[in-house]
Structure 1
Amino acid sequence: MNVLLLFIPLSLLLEYVFHSPPLWVFATATIAVIPLADWLRKGTEQVAARSGQTIGGLLNVTFGNLAELIIAIFVLMSGNVMVVKAQITGSIIGNALLGLGLAILIGSFGRARQKFSGVNAGQLNSMLILVVIALLLPAFFDYTERLPGFAATSEAARDNLDEYLSLGVAVVLILVYALNLVYTLVTHKDVFALEEEEEGHQGNLWPVWKAAAVLVGATALIALESELLSGALEASSKVLGLSPFFLGVVVLAVVGNFAEYISGSYFARQGKIGLAINIAVGATIQVALFTAPLLVIISYLIGKPMNLVFSSPLELVAIVAVALSVITVTKDGEATWFEGVLLLAVYVLLALAFFFVTPKAEAQFIPPGTPAQVRTVAA
Structure 2
Amino acid sequence: MKVLKYMLIFIPISFIAEFMHASSSIMFILAALSIVPLAGLMGEGTEEISFYSGPKIGGFLNGTFGNATELIISFFALKQGLFEVVKSSIAGAVIGNVLLVLGASMLAGGLKHKTQTFNKKVVEVSSSMLLFAVVGLCIPALFTHTVDVALLNTRYESLSIFVAIVMIAIYILSLIFSFFTHKDIYSADIEEEGLTAKWSLKKAISVLVISTVLIAIESEFLVSGIESITKSLGLSEFFVGIIIIPIIGNAAEHSTGVVMAMKNKMDVALEIAIGSSLQIILFVAPVLIFLSLLFTPMSIIFNQFELIALIVAVLIVNRVSNDGESNWLEGVQLLAVYFIIAASFFIL
Report what 1:277 is aligned to. Answer: 270
Return the alpha-carbon distance in structure 2 between the equivalents of residues 8 and 85 of structure 1: 27
Residue 84 of structure 1 corresponds to which residue in structure 2?
86
* Structure 2 residues without counterparts, runs of 5 or longer: none
Which letter maps to 1:309? I
Q: 1:66 is matched with which residue?
A: 68
Give the alignment partner of residue 23 of structure 1, picking from 5, 22, 25: 25
Name the SS for the 2:112 alignment partner.
Answer: coil
1:351 aligns with 2:338: no
Shifted more, 136-145 versus 220-229: the winner is 136-145
Choose 1 or 2 for highest CA Rg: 1
Alignment of 1:253-264 (within 5 A): 253-264=246-257
Go from structure 1 to structure 2 and tell me whether the alpha carbon gap of 1:78 and 1:163 turns closer, same or farther (over 3 Å shift): same
Aligned CA distance change for structure 1 residues 340 and 56 (closer, same or farther; 3 Å) = farther
Deviations 1:243-264 (A, max 9, x none): 1221111111111122320221
Q: Deviations for 1:165-224, whole angstroms, at most 9, x for unmatched residues?
A: 1100000000100110110111211112243334332x6532111111111111111111
Question: What pairs with 1:1-379 in structure 2 (closer than 5 Å)?
Answer: 1-16=4-19, 18-146=20-148, 152-153=150-151, 158-201=152-195, 204-300=197-293, 302-310=294-302, 312-357=303-348
Question: What amino acid sits opposite 2:158 in the alignment?
Answer: Y
User: Is the contact between residue 83 and residue 248 of structure 1 (CA under 8 Å) also seen in structure 2?
Assistant: yes
The alignment partner of 2:113 has SS state of coil
**In 1, are the aligned partners of 2:292 and 2:298 still within 8 Å (CA)?**
yes
Q: Mind listing any 5+ residue stretches in structure 1 that lack a counterpart? A: 358-379
Quote the Cα distance in structure 2 between the aligned partners of 1:204 and 1:129. 36
* Coordinate RMSD, CA, aligned: 1.5
Match of 1:109, SS state, is helix
Q: Is the 8 A contact 1:41 1:262 kept in 2?
A: no
Identify the structure with the greater helix proportion.
Answer: 2
CA offset at residue 75 of structure 1?
0.8
**Which residue of structure 2 lines up, in the alignment, with residue 376 of structure 1?**
none
What secondary structure is seen at the aligned counterpart in 1 of 2:65? helix
Deviation sequence 1:247-293 (CA, Å, 0-9, x none): 11111111112232022122222222101111111111111111111
Residue aligned with 1:257, SS: helix
SS at match of 1:110: helix
In the aligned structure 2, how far is the partner of 1:51 from the partner of 1:264? 22
> TM-score of the superposition, structure 2-length normalised?
0.95
Residue identity matched to 2:216:
A
Alignment partners' CA distance in 1, 2:159 and 2:166: 11
% of aligned pairs identical?
A: 41
Task: Give TM-score scaled by structure 1 length.
Answer: 0.87
In the alignment, residue 348 of structure 1 is paired with which amino acid? Answer: F
Count of aligned positions: 345
